[in-house]
Amino acid sequence: DTAVSQTPKYLVTQMGNDKSIKCEQNLGHDTMYWYKQDSKKFLKIMFSYNNKELIINETVPNRFSPKSPDKAHLNLHINSLELGDSAVYFCASSPGPRVRTYNEQFFGPGTRLTVL
């Protein structure tokens, strides 16, 4: 019964390729997020969606394009991959402000992206 799931878990690809990472949550949450964790474990928010609408876009290159086909899914597509994109990408969800004011986030297991 995985609450927040991501696929794939590992992704190894060449520079210049285009790749996608998928995320699904079965918690009924309204809000979903993408985070990037670098090699020093620093976690930085990239995007936030609430009910399929983009809420936060944190100065991420436009090679990164999130897509939310419905409230339970938030996918991340990356064009023209660069070496610096190598990191672990985490999807997360939270109930959202419609449900309550204070929301902890539930994280997926992460996708380790390696760009060669």
Partner 1 sequence: GENVGLHLPTLSVQEGDNSIINCAYSNSASDYFIWYKQESGKGPQFIIDIRSNMDKRQGQRVTVLLNKTVKHLSLQIAATQPGDSAVYFCAENIPPYKYIFGTGTRLKVLA
Q: How far apart are CA 55 and CA 53, in angstroms?
A: 6
Binding mask 86-115 for partner 1 (x = CB under 8 A): ----x-x---xx---xxxxxxxxxx-----
58-96 per-residue burial string, b: 16 or more CB within 10 A, e: under 16: eebeeebebebeebbbbbbebeebeeebbbbbbbbbbbb
Using CB under 8 A as the binding rule, whether residue 75 contacts partner 1 is answered as no
Binding mask 30-59 for partner 1 (x = CB under 8 A): -x-x------xxxxxx--x-x----xx---
Closest distance of CB 69 from partner 1, Å: 20
Using CB under 8 A as the binding rule, whether residue 68 contacts partner 1 is answered as no
